[in-house]
Amino acid sequence: MRFIFLFYLLFSSLFAKASDQSKLFGYSWWPHYQHPYFRLQLDTLNNQPVLGLDIIAPLKGVWGTLLPTYQLRGETNDITVRVKYKSKDVQHFYVTLNSLTNGARVARRDTIMLPASPNWAEATSQLHLKHADLLSVTLEATGKKDTLGTIQLADFGLYADGKKLSDDVPDAAVAPLFQRSDLLNWTFGNYENLPCMNSPILAVGETVHGTKTMNAVAMDIMKERILKHQCRLVLLELPMDAAFYINMYVRNDPRFKYSYISNYIDNSLLSEPTKAFIEWLKQYNATHDNSVSLLGFDTNLEWVQSQINLFNFFYTLNDGKKSPEMKKICEAVLYDMDPFSKRDVAALIDSSDVVKTASKKMN
């Protein structure tokens, strides 16, 4: 538990540091939420910034940026990657490039290995890539056991047509992507004008979180989908463990009354339109055989809180019975749900008849 708590604090501190290195080498960088480096630090070499990355096994470090490439004109483009670095006591250090096309589909993945070098080394690689909308670029490393590995970067860049790629693209390059015919003249409640309403899966996004008007539109669209388009599953950007409680509430399970689950609804993550939709869905389910489920597809940054939520959820789902199988599940949730656990909690849950029986009540 202590290690998980320290890992969480480390992860939070990395995001605080990310703002300091946000434009290093001309790019906006962010640590991977599951694989942060052990430590990040800035230094200078000949009055130029140097990024230090420290790594310890079994941790893996990933530091990435996302570059627009839709403005490149050719059907194929020659991309040059240049890195000036040195590394010590690192098992693997490499650059990955993921070419993203329509629908954020990964069309191609390339890996450039950077051999260990205690002295400054310059590596140049050239790739011939088909046209893509975006290029995801990550600096990844794995450490050696019981050893602090160090990496220093003095320069990093990607080039196309002799020019360095940038994450700032002039507006003029974006304009051709959208035509006037792509825009819909839509008024609130006029759903027949939305060609996507008949799609088996419909995702509703927003450019900025917390927009009350957009939230209200999204919830209203979901109601329309449930009432007229046989929608039976709603996914919200909520921590999955918290959504389990809300799902049982909207499906009118007597063990999950509002007084028991209110803290999962009355919080800053849910807007007023979303809270109203939850109450509407509960009433709808009451007269429609509890046929619609509501689940979450996000993680809880407070890992310990997530474990406690899952423990209490399984315990309540089992009506508080102290069965040996449920005891194993609850212990596994409390002690083995950490990023480096060797115990397969999912397999344990799948093999338990008690959990299978209890879980059927969620379906």
The residue with greater pLDDT, 343 or 7, is: 343
Locate 263 and state its tokens. 């803290």
Tokens of 304: 């310990």
Summarize the confidence of residues 156-172 as an average pLDDT: 80
Q: What is the pLDDT of residues 187-221, one digit of tens each?
A: 666 777 777 777 888 888 766 666 777 888 888 88
Instruction: Evaluate whether 105 touches 168 at the Cβ level (below 8 Å).
Output: no
pLDDT of amino acid 157 = 93
Please check the confidence at residue 4 and state whether its pLDDT lies above 80: no
φ, ψ dihedrals at 75, nearest 5°: -70, -30
pLDDT-derived band at 166, boundaries 50, 70, 90: confident
Strands (E), 272-342: 293-298
Q: How far is CA 268 from CA 11, 62, 276, in A?
A: 22, 30, 14
pLDDT at residue 351, rounded to an integer: 59
- Mean pLDDT score, 38-67: 85
Strands 48-55 and 149-160, by their bridges, are: antiparallel
> With the CA atoms of 164, 170, 172 and 178 taken in that order, what torsion angle do they form, in degrees rounded to the nearest 10?
100
* Least confident range of 160-164, 275-279, 298-302: 298-302
Q: How confident is the model at residue 155 (pLDDT cuts 50, 70, 90)?
A: very high
Give the three-state DSSP class for 88.
Answer: strand
Q: How far is the CA of 277 from the CAs of 202, 218, 221, 281, in angstroms?
A: 17, 10, 11, 6
Domains of the chain: 2-161 (2.60.120.260), 202-360 (no CATH)
Least trusted range by pLDDT, from 76-80, 247-251, 336-340, 351-355: 336-340
Angle (deg, nearest 10), helices 272-286 and 240-250: 40
Q: Which of 9-18, 106-115, 148-157, 258-267 has the lowest mean pLDDT?
A: 9-18
CB-based contacts of 82, cutoff 8 Å, min separation 6: 122, 123, 124, 155, 156, 157, 158, 159
> In this predicted structure, what is the pLDDT of residue 162?
82
Q: Rounded to an integer, what distance in angstroms lies between the CA atom of residue 158 and that of residue 167?
A: 11
For 210, the token pair is 């917390």
Q: What is d(CA 268, CA 179) in angstroms, rounded to the nearest whole number? A: 37
80-129 pLDDT per residue, tens: 999 999 999 999 999 999 998 876 788 889 999 999 999 999 999 998 88
Q: What is the mean pLDDT of residues 260-266?
A: 80
Of residues 363 and 287, the one with the higher pLDDT is: 287
* Residues 68/146, Cβ–Cβ less than 8 Å: no
Helix/strand/coil percentages in the chain, nearest 5: 35, 30, 35
Helices (H) and strands (E) in the chain, counts: 10, 13
Triad 248, 253, 258: Cα angle to 5°: 75
